[in-house]
Chains A and B, each alone.
Chain A
Amino acid sequence: MPLTSQEIQKIASLAKLDLSSGQEEKMLQQINAFFEIVEQIKSVDTSSIAPLSHPLATVQEVSLRLRDDQVSETNQRELNQKSAPKLGKGLFLVPKVIES
């Protein structure tokens, strides 16, 4: 079931991307071509199979760790803000989101 241009626009919107009409057409064609090779997965019987999220889980117990909540870094505000597109008074600036 090929995607429609409306659906492509909705996905783009969810992904915060703008598509011009030319790009939309190309994207639609390429994504639909891709989903033609995806269809074959639907016929695979996976009813007794658990999803695999960590590749090593096939051979061993894998649990995702959390580290202790301890300070491990020194404050490097300037270094961390070095590549910011827009700063003011040591803060990241974005367009106003709350009306004053």
Chain B
Amino acid sequence: MQELHNMSLQGLALAIKNRTVSARETSEHFLARAKAHASLKPALNPLQTADHLTPATTSCGAFVSFNEEFTLNLADQSDQRISKGQARSLEGVPIAHKDIFVTRDFPTTAGSKMLEGYCSPFDATVVSLLQQEGMINLGKLNCDEFAMGSSNENSAWGPVKNPWDVSRVAGGSSGGSAAAVALRLCPAATGTDTGGSIRQPASFCGVTGIKPTYGRASRYGMIAYASSLDQAGPMAQSAEDCALLLSAMCGPDLDRDSTSLDVPKEDFSRHLNDSIQGLRIGLPKEFFSDGLHADVRTCIDLALDEFKALGAQLVPIELPKTELSIPVYYILAPAEASSNLSRFDGVKFGFRAKAYKDLDDLYRKTRTEGFGEEVKKRIMIGTYVLSHGYYDAYYLQAQKIRRMISNDFQEAFKTCDVIAGPVTPQVAWKLGEQINDPVANYLADIFTLPASLAGLPAMSIPCGFGASSMPVGLQMIGNYFQESKLLNAAHQFQLSTDWHKKALRGTT
């Protein structure tokens, strides 16, 4: 039998259902792998009863918490269901969650000291939905603090290192999710994407990830960064696996998320095997400009040739406001963040400073000591652009340009069915390389921000290796509610290429 950690979700679910392997053995297998790549501090794990873990020096720092007793208990329940013939669609298949989703049975920190040891009284909707399909929660995954960052160096629990080269970043903010899937520490993971936080780390680590149309996955229990942009999505080894997960994760949650769309659940796997003969793939000229590194460009061009060979047509398109998406995003997201993060005041939950003289001092000291540097900077930017006298010039103007960016996409979709291009201008950079140059970091988000601002579904699929043999991802953007078309194209690509199967040494 194929190693458990290299099996598809469907294969794994079938093996468990047929009792070739038990759900418990499966969870134990993945837990053992995952523990070697933890970034754990004992204090972080009030629920951890047994062995506190010391991160190994070879650890990529992908996991931040486990609750082994809970995980194995869930797995046992899956085995019981199977023996009674009550298996659900993904019964016994493990999944790990980005530490931005609140969970009742694991601490949730959002990568911040502000939430050290925090335990939520409830599970995020996305977490519950996956559990309702029989999936087993394996643990929580490292991320940039409050999902703010593109390198995963902003986590209070240390960076996630890129499994392909541990001197490089894993990308962010869902860096732990991408690294964990790349290392086959879990068969699948959840991530969240505000400005590229699923696609960029997926690209950097050589895994597949998708964000759905804004509003399709519930934001209930997802710690808010920028509410008009945040979307949950799956990260896994293939488009086929992502389709299964996304089908489980999406659906209306009308009473709990005011921006949840009243759109029925959908089976995103149903078009996977359709032919893509005649599919019109739009290539935005702005995505192939001078800023794109040659090694990445080569991989993208080869991937596009492959699509042509599969019968797709390549159509030149324009997204003229692409460059403006950087200032627009970095005004709107911090503005929303400054409001969302005002709840962290040291009163009802989470961290509180030790010494303070009055209530105002309690707020200030708690926030000053609890938040990391990047988070503080974004709160400052957000506070400024929303403040009296600057609101119209910055926030309102950015919201107007946001509409122009969205309109540009609608114009482009008149001549194409999906849009393709690079996820990032370059492969994963070295740890520490851009930490003191945040503007450079922001500029690197140029190709993921437009789809985020427009709320469009978008994904990253592995399409080769660039400089220093680092993975490169192909970005595909669909029109609203066209997730199944995106996944169809991605799946057909993955049937005729094996980039998504190129595994790290030691994982085969």
Please give, as numbers and ranges, the residues of chain A lying within 8 Å of B380 by CB-CB distance: 8, 11-12, 15, 17, 27, 31
B377 within 8 A of A: yes
How close is A93's CB to chain B, nearest CB, in angstroms? Answer: 9
Check: A6 CB closer than 8 A to any chain B CB: no
Majority SS at the chain B contact face: helix
Task: Considering the complex, give the chain B residue whose CB is closest to the CB of A20.
Answer: B368
Q: State the total of A-B contacts with C-beta under 8 angstroms.
A: 170
B interface residues, tally (CB under 8 Å):
76
Contacting residue for B324 out of A31, A44, A64, CB 8 A: A44
B401 touches A41 (CB 8 A): yes
Q: Which of A16, A18, A50, A81 has the most CB of B within 10 A?
A: A16
Q: Is B357 an interface residue (CB 8 A)?
A: yes
Establish whether residues B387 and A50, one from each chain, have CB atoms under 8 Å apart when the complex forms. no
CA distance A97 to B443 in the complex (A): 45
From A42, A58, A95, B454 is in contact (CB under 8 Å) with: A58
Question: Out of B119, B367, B381, which one reaches A82, CB within 8 Å?
Answer: B119
Contact in complex: B397, A58 (CB < 8 Å): no
Query: Within 8 Å of chain A (Cβ to Cβ): is B505?
Result: no
A49 vs B400: C-alpha distance when bound (angstroms): 6
9-residue interface stretch from B35-43, B178-186, B271-279, B403-411: B403-411
Q: Whole-angstrom distance from the CB of B251 to the nearest CB of chain A?
A: 16
Smallest CB gap from B397: residue in A: A41
Q: Say yes or no for B56: interface residue by CB 8 A criterion.
A: no
Interface of chain B residues 355 through 411 with chain A (CB within 8 A)? 356-365, 367-368, 371, 376-377, 379-381, 383-384, 387, 393-394, 396-404, 406-407, 410
A17-B368 CB under 8 A given contacts A38-B394, A94-B347: yes
Residues of A near B396 (CB, < 8 A) are 51
Our pick among A11, A19, A34 for the contact of B442 (Cβ within 8 Å) is A34
What count of chain A residues pass the 8 Å CB interface test?
52
When distances are taken between beta carbons in the complex, the residues of chain B under 8 Å from A33 are 438-439
B323, B347, B384 — most chain A CB neighbours (10 Å): B384
Q: Which residues of A contact B456 (CB under 8 A)?
A: 55
Whether A53 is near chain B, meaning CB under 8 Å from some CB there, is yes
* A residues in contact with B213, CB < 8 Å: 56
Bitwise interface map of A from 66 to 82 toward B, beta carbon under 8 Å scored 1, else 0: 11000010001001111
How long is the Cα–Cα vector from A58 to B214 in the complex, in angstroms? Answer: 12
Smallest CB separation, A74 vs chain B (Å) = 11
B166 beta carbon closer than 8 Å to chain A? no
Contact A34–B387 (Cβ < 8 Å):
no
- The answer to whether A84 and B398 touch across the interface, beta carbons within 8 angstroms, is no
A46 touches which one: B261, B347, B404 (CB < 8 A)?
B404
Contacts of B367 in A (CB 8 A): 15-17
State whether A95 and B214 are in contact (beta carbons under 8 Å apart), knowing that A15-B379, A16-B363, A56-B261 are contacts in the complex. Answer: no
The answer to whether the Cβ of B118 comes within 8 Å of any Cβ in the partner chain is yes
Min CB gap A10→B, angstroms: 9
CA distance A79 to B348 in the complex (A): 12
Verify A37–B399 contact, CB threshold 8 A: no
A85 within 8 A of B: yes
Known: A15-B383, A37-B439. A53 touches B399 (CB 8 A): yes
Q: Is the CB of A46 within 8 A of B397?
A: yes
In the complex, the answer to whether A66 meets B258 with C-beta atoms within 8 Å is yes
A65 contacts the other chain (CB 8 A): yes
Top 3 closest A-B pairs, CB basis? A55-B455, A51-B399, A85-B352
**Listed A/B pairs (20) with beta-carbon separation below 8 Å:** A14-B383, A14-B387, A15-B338, A16-B345, A17-B368, A17-B371, A37-B327, A37-B442, A37-B443, A41-B398, A42-B393, A44-B401, A54-B214, A55-B402, A56-B215, A59-B480, A72-B255, A76-B121, A85-B350, A97-B358
